[in-house]
């Protein structure tokens, strides 16, 4: 089959590469000439495990191609995927300019039947706007060409996106035409072999499903952080509480790990967009508002602990920071807790020595050269000479460091653990003052 993907960002590139991997011919369209030039050479602009290998392989085999030509893209595939960004507008709602621009381009250049598939995360009702936009342009051209619009939201986890696409838990498709449903079922049949994952529904329900899924997961995170904050006040251990409630099959262990809040390109944006959608339709979504508020506060929770430990005397101190990406196995720093923590500490005159296995280049792109930010070569050099160590991303490389060396490297043996990856009793025995989330602080005895 011939497939066109508009947008070669995270979703578009993974989608295109994975469709090519199962034998389809895929043409990815992007208006960024520099990005397209790099992609043609097999250089991918994001860090995603396994993605570069399948991009390079399918480029070599000729199944995956890249272009900046919109007319070429519209002419290429019967399946026209829209996978462009929908960044938050000023009021938090999704900005649909890029989506509707692609729809207008499809209407401008199509000459025969096309299935237009919304892969971007978009508010309920966007398919109607896409349909209307294409129809208006066709009318201006004096053309009567058949087309269908489909909602096909993505459910890719950063750091596991290739496996998520190749072995999906569900394939949600919103359609209003039985013929189109079968065409989409056929397109996704290579990913739907061991058991039925294809879930067809009406278009508006499919659009809402994506937002509902992300909002539910974000709610679990914020709820657990609320429980962690209560635990600190009543003297409970949130990790014990987590095990106690997670063993209930109705709750489960997924997404109930306390920490410094969620980040990334999806949860913050999608919770905001769904709340704004509800408000637009006359409903006050108090749960979504609370989820967002709790998360915003949680990102600065460790900063409060740092202030308290140093009795407000932060100016001129050096803080080592392990983890810049919003989660492991990605270089994505969008809405990352690390950004809020660093920016708040900078206001207090703190210098940061940071290390992340893959997000260093992204930090350099975001912040450039500044005297109060050193991007260290490894975790140990980040800790050297720092007043305290702050852990913000639970990369595997941070789980079992040489604590004797870390203690000797730090000016003071203090660790602020934003992901609860260390054992408080062990940290105390090793001579550290140890602060985590939802557990009582362990303060090292001065000798």
- Where do we find the tokens 């087309």? 147
Catalytic residue from among 44, 83, 228, 266:
266
| 18 assigned to active site | no
Neighbouring residues of 306: CB distance < 8 A, sequence distance ≥ 6 = 314, 319, 345, 388, 390, 416
- 433-435 and 79-82 as β-strands: parallel, antiparallel, unpaired? unpaired
Number of alpha carbons in the 13 Å side-chain half-sphere of residue 424: 17
Tokens describing residue 222: 């914020």
Write b or e for each residue in 92-120: b if 16 or more Cβ atoms lie within 10 A of its Cβ, otherwise e.
Answer: bbbebebbbbbbebbbebbeeebbbbbbb
Q: What is the distance between the alpha carbons of residues 308 and 334, in angstroms, rounded to a whole number?
A: 28
Catalytic residues: 266
């Amino acid at each position: 089959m011939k497939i066109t993907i508009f947008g070669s960002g995270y979703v578009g590139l993974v989608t295109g590469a994975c469709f090519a991997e199962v034998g389809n011919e895929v043409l990815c369209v992007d208006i960024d000439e520099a990005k397209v030039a790099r992609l043609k050479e097999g250089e991918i602009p994001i860090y995603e495990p396994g993605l570069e290998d399948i991009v390079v392989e399918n480029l070599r085999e000729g199944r995956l191609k890249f272009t900046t030509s919109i007319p070429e893209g519209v002419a290429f595939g019967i399946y026209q995927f829209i996978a462009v960004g929908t960044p938050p507008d000023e009021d938090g709602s999704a900005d649909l300019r890029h989506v509707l621009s692609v729809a207008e381009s499809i209407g401008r250049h199509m000459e025969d039947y096309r299935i237009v598939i919304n892969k971007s995360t978009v508010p309920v009702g966007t398919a109607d706007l896409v349909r209307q936009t294409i129809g208006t342009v066709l009318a201006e051209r004096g053309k009567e060409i058949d087309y269908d619009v489909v909602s096909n939201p993505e459910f890719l986890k950063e750091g596991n996106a290739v496996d998520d696409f190749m072995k999906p838990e569900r394939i949600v498709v919103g359609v209003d035409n039985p013929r189109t449903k079968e065409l989409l079922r056929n397109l996704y049949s290579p990913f739907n072999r061991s058991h039925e994952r294809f879930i067809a529904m009406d278009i508006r329900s499919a659009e809402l499903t994506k937002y509902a899924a992300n909002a539910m997961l974000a709610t679990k995170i914020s709820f657990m952080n609320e429980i962690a904050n209560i635990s600190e006040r009543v003297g409970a251990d949130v990790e014990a509480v987590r095990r106690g409630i997670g063993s209930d099959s109705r709750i489960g262990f997924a997404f109930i790990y306390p920490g410094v809040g969620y980040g990334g390109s999806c949860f913050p944006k999608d919770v905001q967009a769904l709340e704004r959608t509800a408000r637009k339709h006359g409903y006050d979504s108090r749960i979504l508002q609370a989820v967002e508020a709790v998360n915003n506060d949680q990102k600065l929770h460790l900063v409060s602990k740092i202030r308290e430990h140093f009795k407000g005397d932060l100016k001129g101190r050096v803080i080592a920071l392990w983890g810049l990406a919003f989660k492991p196995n990605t270089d994505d720093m969008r809405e990352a807790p690390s950004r809020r923590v660093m920016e708040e500490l900078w206001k207090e005159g703190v210098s940061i020595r940071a290390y992340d296995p893959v997000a260093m280049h992204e930090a350099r792109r975001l912040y450039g050269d500044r005297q109060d930010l050193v991007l260290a070569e490894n975790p140990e050099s980040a800790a050297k000479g720092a007043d305290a160590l702050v852990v913000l991303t639970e990369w595997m490389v941070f789980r079992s460091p040489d604590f004797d060396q870390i203690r000797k490297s730090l000016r003071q043996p203090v660790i602020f653990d934003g992901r609860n990856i260390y054992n408080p009793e062990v940290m105390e025995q090793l001579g550290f003052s140890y602060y985590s989330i939802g557990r009582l602080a362990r303060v090292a005895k001065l000798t």
